[in-house]
Amino acid sequence: MRGAFADVQTSVRTTGRALADAPPPAAPRGKPGDWAYSESRPVATTASARPGDRVLRGAVYRVKRADGSVEYTNIPPASGKGRAVTMLFTYIATCMACDLHSPIHWNSVRLNLEDYASVTRRASVDYGVDEAFLRAIIHAESAFNPHALSIKGAQGLMQLMPATASDMGVLDAFNAEQNIRGGARYLGQLLQTFKGDERLAAAAYNAGPGAVERYKGVPPYAETRVYVARVEELRQRYGKALHRPLASSGAGSGSAVQ
């Protein structure tokens, strides 16, 4: 942390709260140059959320004011005269398709066919991974958020753990192209290990290849089972969308489809 804030020379404070419709925290107390932190009690983010559920996503912002003071906060700040706002990174509690209580309807959630299209297409060819499967994993892991950071340390579009990223030759996991190519390379290796079985490769991507080999199939972990089912749903839908006849796509098609 010391190195990350080495450029802060004057007053610094941080604020934080659950990202929901709740009043902002009281202004931190303290002298200029001190750190102050305040956080409201967790607020349920969905109607189905239960007491104690974690906030699933948010972002950290750096706010630098004209007087030189700096604030780090997870409360989306309004831009205004005399201060500069920078989003440092976003965070998620777990991968998008790993949440057992996800309110997302995976059989109808909008697909993303345009973002990083050229990169995923090249990586698909280079590493022998079907493009529909590759996009399904990206959607399941981060919903195409290149800045995603999980509480376990998984990073970027394909939520690569640092050790995996290093093994796959990824120098910057928040670089979209490096992340996709690293994730595709890893998926290609998993597909080779499991003889082209995408279901087992997805299970291994979530739980690790050792667990899949140990159980000789999808491990009996609740998270892994829902993850595999959601990836399968997305993979089928991306497969149909990516292989549509050209005549049916239309000249005015957008970046996402139902």
pLDDT for the residue numbered 196: 97
User: What's 111-244's CATH class?
Assistant: mainly alpha
pLDDT for the residue numbered 103: 85
Q: HEC string of 194-235?
A: CCCCHHHHHHHHHHCHHHHHHHCCCCCCHHHHHHHHHHHHHH
pLDDT for the residue numbered 92: 61
Which letter does DSSP use for residue 153 in this model? -
Is 198 noted as a catalytic residue in this protein? no
pLDDT for the residue numbered 169: 96
Whole-angstrom distance, CA of residue 208 vs CA of residue 164: 11
Strand segments, DSSP code E, in the chain are 12-15, 57-65, 70-73, 83-92, 111-112, 256-257
* Alpha carbon separation from 109 to 1, 55, 112, 140, 232 (Å, rounded): 38, 21, 10, 11, 14
71, 141, 198, 233: the catalytic one is: 141
Global pTM exceeds 0.85: no
Q: Is 150 helix (H, G, I), strand (E, B) or coil?
A: strand
pLDDT for the residue numbered 90: 62
pLDDT for the residue numbered 91: 60
Backbone CA torsion sign across 16, 17, 19, 23? negative
pLDDT for the residue numbered 68: 77
pLDDT for the residue numbered 96: 79
Outline which parts of the chain fall under CATH 1.10.530.10. Answer: 111-244
What are the per-10-residue average pLDDT scores of the chain (258 residues)?
A: 36 40 39 35 33 50 76 70 71 73 90 97 98 97 90 90 95 95 98 98 97 97 96 97 63 46
pLDDT for the residue numbered 190: 98
